A and B are shown apart, each in its own frame.
Chain A
Amino acid sequence: MVPLDWYLMLGSIVFCIGMIGFMIRRNIIMMFLSVELMLNGVNISLVAFSHYLQDLRGQILVFFIIAVAASEAAIGLAIVILITRNKNTIFIDEINELRG
């Protein structure tokens, strides 16, 4: 039987790697991928809790997190397409004016 701590450690390591990726990459699509990585780290912890506490509410929450992550990725990428169409760059250090 795998202890619960191992799953929680794995979830937190994946979350922190996503956070590091969000902070060091200045490419907007890489930042989106790091956000998805953070959400998956949290999902791993929630499903592990749901299994070890013998309650299904963790899995319900993961279901909603996956749905919200999908809609957030869709809208975020639509905004990215619009911004790079105007500015012609994907580095967010160069997108530093509020007016398009």
Chain B
Amino acid sequence: MINKIFFLYFAVAIVTLSLVIITRKSLVHSVISMLALFFHIAGLYLFLNSEFLALVQIIVYAGAILVLFLFVIMLLNIREDELKEQYASLWPLGVSIGVVFMIALLRMPAFILGSKGVWDIKAVTEATNTGAIGQILYTEYLLPFEVASIILLIAIIGAMVLAKKRFVK
């Protein structure tokens, strides 16, 4: 019962914050609401027995990506009083398409779950979520791990090459 009350608080907060994010006129308000949303999602991950992912979510998403967004908003020098149009002209069509898709997703017939794996709660708690992810990531998923590091390297080099000022001689 207490589980469901906690989950309902997180669910209502997440849905409310995401509605706030897409409807704010000011960009900084949206980014700060997104910060609160990421903390709630990290709390949900803690609820699902994955504390490593909760910390990675807070450090990477809330600590790096949102700060990047705020820096870009500062660099673009957007004057908030000059933001004239905030919604597309055909916004009822967009909202109705989204609502129809949401109803179609929520009314999906029940599916049959696959077979359960070996990492039940006791095994994950014994190896700690970080250790369990490490055991799998470095043995079975080593190639995607190295590819992800190359993706991050390309992102760093690309962002630096794209955004530097060209000095006109």
Contact = CB atoms under 8 A, between A and B. Distances in A.
Interface of A: 1-2, 4, 6-7, 9-10, 12-21, 23-27, 29-30, 32-34, 36-37, 40, 43-44, 47-48, 50-57, 59-60, 62-64, 66-75, 77-82, 84, 90-91, 93
Contacts, number: 211
Contacts of A14: 14-15, 18
Given A25-B22, A54-B117, A78 B158 contact: yes
B163 A21 contact: no
Contacts of B129: 59
Contacts of B118: 54-55
A63 B97 contact: no
Q: For chain B, which range describes its interface: under 10, 10 to 19, 20 to 34, or 35 or more residues?
A: 35 or more
B126 interface: no
B159 A56 contact: no
Contact of B141 (A30, A60, A75, A82): A60
Interface of B: 3-4, 7, 11, 14-15, 18-19, 21-22, 27, 30-31, 34, 37-38, 41, 44-45, 47-50, 52-53, 56-57, 60-61, 64-65, 68-69, 72-73, 75-76, 78, 83, 85-88, 91, 94-95, 97-99, 101-102, 105-106, 113-121, 124, 129, 132-133, 136-137, 141, 144, 148, 151-152, 154-156, 158-159, 162-163
Given A43-B41, A73-B68, 5 more contacts: A51-B50, A60-B141, A67-B152, A70-B61, A78-B162
Nearest to A82: B162
Contact of A20 (B53, B95, B155): B95
A80 B55 CA distance: 29
A49 B121 CA distance: 13
Nearest to A13: B15
B66 to A, nearest CB: 9
Contact of B120 (A15, A18, A54, A93): A54
Contact of B119 (A4, A19, A55, A73): A55
A78 B163 contact: yes
Given A25-B88, A52-B113, A2 B7 contact: yes
Contact of A71 (B41, B121, B137, B151): B151
